[in-house]
Structure 1
Amino acid sequence: MSQPETRITKQRLAVTQALSEIDDFATAQQLHRWLQDSEKKVSLATVYRLLQSMADDGLLDVLRSGDGEARFRQCVTETHHHHLVCRSCSKTVEVQAPSVERWAARVAAEHDFSEPEHTVEIYGVCAECRAKKLA
């Protein structure tokens, strides 16, 4: 059974444009504020719904902060990837990790699981923030 085609609405185009103009991860509230400032009429509920739909379709990266709030960004890399995230400035780098993929597949197989999926975010402090601390 094929998946239904996603409708391209004015609201979806506005959210896509906002994401393309924002270089970093943003919350639904931040995107909604950007849309309001740009005089685009998209309700906050619609922003949440569109972000979830786009994330489910694999078009967005999603990171959850310590308080559980989701932050979204258009994927830079189209293939499966992971993230390094700076705890100080939130700088995020996409990384490929073949050894993690092999490990996940092996662990799933050892426990008789199939079709394993995973997300990995590694948090640390980037070189720029470390340099600022030392200055």
Structure 2
Amino acid sequence: MTKSRDAVHETLRQSTGFRSAQDVFAAMRAGGAKIGLTTVYRALQSLSDAGRVDVLRTDDGESVYRACQSEWHHHHLVCRNCGRTVEVAGPDVERWAEVVGAEHGFTEITHTVEVFGTCSSCAAARDA
């Protein structure tokens, strides 16, 4: 699994933006890798669990993946047109999650926050 996981991770590191498991699989197969789609899914899950890839759920419910650009806990600002993604810190979100969890008796709080919008390049192209 380690060799496959490393190959999947390398494919994501060479990619720009988020990619679906099917996209990763197709890219790897096109590059000559002998890997199955199930192995790609397992590798992506393992990389996600280890915090080595970011995962977003698209509007239609599909999970898409990207190699993490930073090692600190972060959130994403994502352009819904081109997929451009910016990693952002969210200290207010962190505090809010802890407070809300504590108010309801929860501990070991985790969360994900993704903010979607239109990047300046896409907005300028639309308005041109």
CA offset at residue 87 of structure 1?
1.2
For normalisation by structure 1, the TM-score amounts to 0.91
Q: After superposition, what is the alpha-carbon deviation per residue over 1:26-46, rounded to whole angstroms, capped at 9, x for unaligned?
A: 000000111011101110110
Query: What is the Cα-based RMSD across aligned positions, in Å?
Result: 1.0
1:66, distance to aligned residue in structure 2 (A):
1.3
Partner of 1:97: 90
Larger relative CO (CA 8 A, sep 6+): 1 or 2? 2
Q: How many residues align?
A: 128
CA distance in 2, matches of 1:75, 1:114: 26
Structure 2: unaligned runs, 5 residues or longer: none
What pairs with 1:7-18 in structure 2 (closer than 5 Å)?
A: 8-9=2-3, 11-18=4-11
Q: 1:65 aligns with which of 58, 63, 70?
A: 58
Correspondence for 1:112 among 94, 102, 105: 105
Q: Which amino acid aligns with 2:51?
A: G
Pick aligned residue for 2:26 from 10, 25, 33: 33
4+ runs deviating over 2 angstroms:
none
The whole-number CA distance in structure 1 between the counterparts of 2:97 and 2:107 is: 11
In structure 2, the residue matched to 1:4 is none
Q: Give the % identical residues.
A: 48
Aligned equivalent of 1:74, options 67, 72, 79: 67
Letter in 2 for 1:8: T
If you compute each CA radius of gyration, which structure gives the higher value, 1 or 2? 1
Structure 1: runs of 5 or more not aligned: 1-6
Matches of 1:16 and 1:54, distance apart in 2: 8
TM-score calculated relative to the size of structure 2: 0.95
Q: Residues of 1 paired with 2:87 and 2:17: CA distance?
A: 12
Is the Cα contact below 8 Å between 2:9 and 2:47 reproduced in 1?
no
